[in-house]
Chains A and B, each alone.
Chain A
Amino acid sequence: MFSYIGRRASHSILSVIGLLTLVFFLTRLTGDPSALYLPLDATAEARSAFARLNGLDQPIPWQFAEYLKDLLHLDFGQSLRQNRSAIEVALQAFPETLKLALVAITLSTALAILVGSLAAARPGSLFDRIASLASLAGASAPDFWVAIVGILVFAVGLEVLPTSGTGTWAHWIMPIFVLMLRPFGLLVQVVRGTMLSALASPYIKTARAKGVRRQKIIFGHALRNSLLPVVTVAGDLATGLVNGAVVVETIFGWPGIGKLMIDSIIQRDFAVVQSTILVTATAIFILNIAIDLLYAFLDPRIRY
């Protein structure tokens, strides 16, 4: 088990290094940031001074060597935009996204398991049809569209929720709801599908032959065995959320890492781009290892 974690971690570190290198060179392809940081009417001297000040006048491989050297001292560079340490900026934004993503994925997984199992228990029933269709419909709409309509209806029209921002629990409702739509829709399908095949499996016959109560057959036997694929998909979706709650963060003014990343990308704030990617990639790799461990916990047959 420990050797497995060690192996996975070393793979992950390799991947993170590869990712950072790739991002470093690719972002430099997107042009000179000085034009964005100086007013349009800045002089040529001002531009070259800016480049010199921020080390942008060096050849890119040299800049990369500098970057690596600083990395060894745990120096992730300064944000051009924000006048402070890039990693600090990223680490400040990340928990906000993590909170949102965790709540959204936990809630949608829990709800999807409930709805999906009930749907699978009586396939073809009215509940099954409505649950499948509604969850899929939710997952099929562009999220920013849902978000804006949600604000117009619930905040402006009905005035029951705040439009956006952070603070009270009421501020969480709409962002979480929008974030949940797609994971919930997909997970209901996954739960329903795996539950259907689990309910058709031999050990369910054994349970029925033993006279186990129906509820326990569904939630005790079938569901417990269906969790593995659900965890896989939920893990993938969580990865997506950690990396991509951009739309929700943008619309609701949630100061998360997705928004930070897109702003830094558009503003060519390279050090912050690198740091956000370092943070999210590390989180994603940790998440993946955690999911593997969860597998072993859920299925006693899996041993690493």
Chain B
Amino acid sequence: MKSSSVLAIASAVLMAAAASSAMAQAGQEIRIVLPEQPANLEPCGTIITNVGQILSQNVVEPLTVIDPATGQPRPKLATEWTQVDPVTWRLKLRDNVKFQDGSDFNAEAAVFSINRMTGGKITCSNNAKFGDAKLEVTAVDDLTVEIKSDKPQPILPTLLSVVMVVSPKTPEDKAVNDPVGTGPFKLSTFSPQTVVLDAFDGYWGQKPEFTKATYVWRPESSIRAAMVETGEADLTPSIAIQDASNPETDFAYLNSETTAIRIDTAQPPLDDLRVRKALNLAIDWEGLAQLFGDDVKRASQMVVPGINGHDDALEAWSYDPEEAKKLLEAAAADGVAVDTEIKLIGRNGIYPNGAEAMEAMMTMWQAVGLDVKLTMLDVADWLRYLQKPFPEERGANLLQMMHDNNKGDAAFTIPIFYRSSGNYATLADPALDKEIDAALAATGEDRTKSFKALFDKARKEVVADIPMFHMIGYTRVGPRLDWKPDITTNSEIPLANIRLKD
């Protein structure tokens, strides 16, 4: 009696297990667990990580995509593009593309999508990539679009990678949670627990292997890792380094993020170059790297390799506490108040182990004799220090920051940090401003060289920041999937690229 009932239970459990695995295979469903709940599913906000990871290239598609290897734009819904004159670009669009609601993709639809983004009637995060550019978009014929801008836009095709094309039936003046695009999947449900996508039969390109994709979210990295381990999910991006313990399933990838500390060059004693250099030299970089994993790359500049303008030859600061002390002594001898209290402003949850890194750096700076005090702030509070106008009476401060340039060009980095008008810049050097303007206007080889020169100058002469690391992301991929993350994983997870192992 007893043994038979045990047997019955055991067989029931086994059958249930078998059934669930069989279901997963038959349904060709993929389950992805994200770190955060997407607040909304507005296609104009795909540069927000958790929106982009669901929508981008799955539900909605951009006009162009960036090649992760070269940083150059490649065709997507726009098949080719030509620069007619410095302020005008002409795009050819893909033919035979249909939206998930049945309407046709054509020049009108492209114009509508661009105008919806730039129109200002909805809050559109993606639009920020265009800065303050004014665009005038017209449909030349059914599959040709012309874009005129008020000033030269040498990298417009790169910028077009954030233009998500939406059905013309989408409201123009209202943000939506039910996006309709041209992608291989259409939105089925969006609830506070889950987002479900179903395959779109009328997709123009190659059919993905999955017919259904389910997204859930858990903030705790260890739980997300556990979900993939137990088979509750197939894939999770951005797990913490300590959870990336299984080389079979956990893949490291250089993401496009660069961590750094900004030095407020306007505040004494940080206005002294020697102090700024000492700050860079006082950090035990090798030790600090332990916090971020073996694959982390020491950064010498604010963009990752592969971005147009990155200087591979530029060397990072080394660890030399003795030299740092000497520099500080010299500065002190010149009357610089090196004993002023310096506020180190960190942000909660900015990146994994971010707070630990700040604590460690504070201790190291204190070791060379600087009076550094750490303050960890909430995002909104921290933003007040990051962006202009800076708070009055902020005093000498160092600011923890992370920069993500995944758009292939240093133009998305240099002006904001180093030009006096830059939103995060504490510098105000007219000569430097001029150099930057020239570089931005340049094209081709010249552009690359100018950017490299600027990064060199920033590292060696200006020292307005303390570049830390090019960060590594870890993704856990379930054993039945054949897929590897790359630099774009932080902004999109195209389901069409994921294959099942057989």
The answer to A–B direct touch (Cβ < 8 A) is yes
Inter-chain contact A83/B175, CB cutoff 8 Å: yes
Distance of A169 Cα from B120 Cα, bound (Å): 47
Most buried by B among A30, A39, A43, A148: A39
Distance of A209 Cα from B121 Cα, bound (Å): 82
Chain B residue, CB-CB nearest to A47: B387
In the complex, B176 has a CB within 8 A of chain A? yes
Inter-chain contact B230/A251, CB cutoff 8 Å: no
Inter-chain contact A43/B232, CB cutoff 8 Å: no
In the complex, A299 has a CB within 8 A of chain B? no
Q: Which residue of B223, B381, B386, B424 is within 8 Å of A31 (Cβ)?
A: B381
A contact residues around B416 at 8 Å (CB): 41
In the complex, A75 has a CB within 8 A of chain B? no
Distance of A41 Cα from B125 Cα, bound (Å): 10
Q: Which residue of A31, A43, A81, A164 is within 8 Å of B218 (Cβ)?
A: A164
**Shortest CB–CB separation between residue A98 and chain B, in angstroms?**
14
A contact residues around B127 at 8 Å (CB): 42, 46
Inter-chain contact B193/A41, CB cutoff 8 Å: no
Inter-chain contact A41/B379, CB cutoff 8 Å: no
Distance of A263 Cα from B349 Cα, bound (Å): 14
CB contact list, A22-73 vs B, under 8 A: 30-33, 35-43, 45-46, 49-50, 53-54
In the complex, A165 has a CB within 8 A of chain B? yes
Inter-chain contact B128/A30, CB cutoff 8 Å: no
Inter-chain contact B125/A38, CB cutoff 8 Å: yes
Distance of A151 Cα from B423 Cα, bound (Å): 44
Q: Which of A152-160, A181-189, A197-205, A275-283 contacts B (4 or more CB under 8 A)?
A: A152-160
**Shortest CB–CB separation between residue B289 and chain A, in angstroms?**
25
B contact residues around A37 at 8 Å (CB): 123, 125
In the complex, B329 has a CB within 8 A of chain A? no
In the complex, A226 has a CB within 8 A of chain B? no
A contact residues around B222 at 8 Å (CB): 148, 151-152
**Shortest CB–CB separation between residue B300 and chain A, in angstroms?**
22
Q: Which residue of B177, B192, B217, B230 is within 8 Å of A93 (Cβ)?
A: B192
Distance of A46 Cα from B134 Cα, bound (Å): 12
Distance of A295 Cα from B192 Cα, bound (Å): 37
**Shortest CB–CB separation between residue B407 and chain A, in angstroms?**
10
Inter-chain contact B232/A45, CB cutoff 8 Å: no
**Shortest CB–CB separation between residue A265 and chain B, in angstroms?**
10
Q: Which residue of A36, A41, A42, A84 is within 8 Å of B177 (Cβ)?
A: A84
**Shortest CB–CB separation between residue B286 and chain A, in angstroms?**
30
Distance of A31 Cα from B220 Cα, bound (Å): 27
**Shortest CB–CB separation between residue A271 and chain B, in angstroms?**
13
Inter-chain contact A92/B192, CB cutoff 8 Å: yes
Inter-chain contact B193/A253, CB cutoff 8 Å: yes
Inter-chain contact B232/A266, CB cutoff 8 Å: no
In the complex, B333 has a CB within 8 A of chain A? no
CB contact list, B80-114 vs A, under 8 A: none
Most buried by B among A30, A36, A152, A163: A163
A contact residues around B132 at 8 Å (CB): 43, 45
In the complex, B26 has a CB within 8 A of chain A? no
Distance of A260 Cα from B191 Cα, bound (Å): 13
A contact residues around B177 at 8 Å (CB): 82-84
Inter-chain contact B232/A163, CB cutoff 8 Å: yes
**Shortest CB–CB separation between residue B1 and chain A, in angstroms?**
24
Q: Which residue of B131, B232, B383 is within 8 Å of A36 (Cβ)?
A: B383
Inter-chain contact B220/A39, CB cutoff 8 Å: no
Distance of A37 Cα from B123 Cα, bound (Å): 8
In the complex, B226 has a CB within 8 A of chain A? yes
A contact residues around B412 at 8 Å (CB): 41
Residue interface mask B146-176, A partner, CB < 8 A = 1: 0000000000000000000000000000111
Which residues of A are in contact with B by a Cβ distance under 8 Å? 30-33, 35-43, 45-46, 49-50, 53-54, 81-84, 92-93, 96, 148, 151-152, 155-156, 159, 162-166, 250-251, 253, 255, 260, 263, 266-268
Q: A39-B125, A165-B193, A166-B193 are in contact. List 7 more A-B contacts (CB 8 A).
A: A31-B384, A35-B384, A41-B129, A84-B177, A156-B229, A163-B227, A163-B232
A-B contact pairs, 10 of them (CB 8 A): A32-B380, A35-B387, A36-B380, A40-B387, A41-B416, A43-B128, A251-B223, A253-B216, A255-B192, A263-B37
